[in-house]
Structure 1
Amino acid sequence: MENPRVRFEENIRRVYQKAVLSAHGWIGYAGNSCDLMNLFPDHEFTLITFDAPAHNASTGKSTNVFQIIRVCGLLIENYKPDFIIGHFMGSAVAVPALASAKYQNTKKLIL
């Protein structure tokens, strides 16, 4: 199984001071996370989401939970989210990704 390559978009910037990282479920994709933000209409957050390896717009034909944990951890270290939301399988990758990340100032993990 190939190692996923992570490409960070250079033009991504925080629109708001607070950021939320959303990790989707096994059959999900990044777009599923947009509906979650509708639950917080009065709060101003920058949403950080991703397609896990071999999901939707990502490359690859197969993946495993360890690859997704690695990608999630890199996103935590790069974007330093204030909050992390894990949806179904996203919960299973968010917990170990946060535990192993060098950045440890996330305020809340929502599973």
Structure 2
Amino acid sequence: MSSFVIKSIGNALNATSLISSKYAVKKAINIFASPRKGRYNDVQKQIIESAFYEEIRYNNMDIATYRWVGKGKTVLLAHGWESNASRWAYILKELKAQDYNIIALDAPAHGRSDGKQFNAILYSEFINVVANKFNPDVLIGHSVGGMASVFYMHKHQLPSIKKLILLGAPAHFTGVFDRYKSMMGFNTKISKGLDNIIIERFGQPVSYFSAANFTESIDAKGLIIHDKKDRIIPYEDGLLIANRYKNSEFISTTGFGHGLKDVSLTPKIIEFIND
């Protein structure tokens, strides 16, 4: 959506909040949690056609998983917002060449997985179900998939996972939420209402859900990669995660953007996995 449309929606909800703040806040959280894309198009379907497809059940929802079978280490891939497992196409060939056993999943309300709304906590539970089935040695998460991976590791700590790779991951939910509020131009009434919804639904304030803080409890060795010109998740988020995640190394890039889909990074990722 254009910035004009986004601001128009924000202004409309601000006006609505004067009449019914409860309704306006509900609409605001629904917009935040509803991906506008992420289901497979025809080109993306071709990328995952070569994988063994399997659905795993969680709380009456099907989690879509894709497996490229190998005899080496098991690597679990978690994509980001408004994406799907096809986003890993740029690195699949190299991972297959290492004979890794590769698993990718679709997030809630993305790809072929069930759901109409998304949040990183639910995504972390999707990751938990898939990880318990396949016992990965390595977990790689991009963007909010990285945040969900940290949430998962913080809560569940599966012993088989020895390496965690975070690509352009947000350091904290506060930043993600504040950027959404600012982008929409929400007034104080809606902003406070959104904060209250998080407490009601998840039992903790927005500030609690900090990937950077959660990494302090993770034993797996970490690799954090973040681009200085990332326009989606600020570079400072990567630095903050690296600062809190003691058992980790940090790679700074320039010009690869939020996607970090550059072939020059692949050997570094593989080296980290094999080390």
TM-score under structure 2 length normalisation: 0.35
CA deviation string 1:30-66 (max 9, x = no partner)? 1112322334464111111111111021222212111
% identity of equivalent residues: 29
Aligned partner (choices 78, 84, 100) of residue 139 of structure 2? 84
Give the structure 2 partner of residue 59 of structure 1. 114
Please give the alpha-carbon distance, in whole angstroms, between the structure 1 residues aligned to 2:135 and 2:62: 16
Letter in 2 for 1:52: A
Give the structure 2 partner of residue 74 of structure 1. 129
Please state whether the residue corresponding to 1:20 is helix, strand or coil.
strand
Q: Does 1:20 align with 2:62?
A: no
Q: Does 1:99 align with 2:154?
A: yes
Single out whichever of 34-43 and 85-94 deviates more from structure 2: 34-43
Give the structure 2 partner of residue 37 of structure 1. 92
Offset at 1:98? 1.9
Q: Does 1:46 align with 2:111?
A: no
Letter in 1 for 2:111: N
Structure number with greater Rg is 2
Please give the alpha-carbon distance, in whole angstroms, between the structure 2 residues aligned to 1:29 and 1:81: 19
Please give the alpha-carbon distance, in whole angstroms, between the structure 2 residues aligned to 1:69 and 1:4: 16
Please state whether the residue corresponding to 1:38 is helix, strand or coil.
helix
CA deviation string 1:63-93 (max 9, x = no partner)? 2111101101111222110111111111100
Number of aligned pairs?
108
Please give the alpha-carbon distance, in whole angstroms, between the structure 1 residues aligned to 2:60 and 2:146: 20
Give the structure 1 partner of residue 52 of structure 2. none
Ranges in structure 2 where 5+ consecutive residues have no aligned partner = 1-29, 31-58, 167-275
Whether the 8 Å contact between 1:77 and 1:102 is mirrored in structure 2 is no
* Runs of at least 4 residues off by over 6 Å: none
Give the structure 2 partner of residue 110 of structure 1. 165
Whether the 8 Å contact between 1:22 and 1:84 is mirrored in structure 2 is yes
Letter in 2 for 1:15: G
| Alpha carbons of structure 1 residues 63 and 97: separation in structure 2 relative to 1, 3 Å | same
Letter in 2 for 1:48: I
Please state whether the residue corresponding to 1:72 is helix, strand or coil.
helix
Letter in 1 for 2:161: T
Ranges in structure 1 where 5+ consecutive residues have no aligned partner = none
Please state whether the residue corresponding to 1:16 is helix, strand or coil.
coil
| Alpha carbons of structure 1 residues 4 and 69: separation in structure 2 relative to 1, 3 Å | farther
Single out whichever of 98-107 and 22-31 deviates more from structure 2: 98-107
| Alpha carbons of structure 1 residues 6 and 60: separation in structure 2 relative to 1, 3 Å | closer
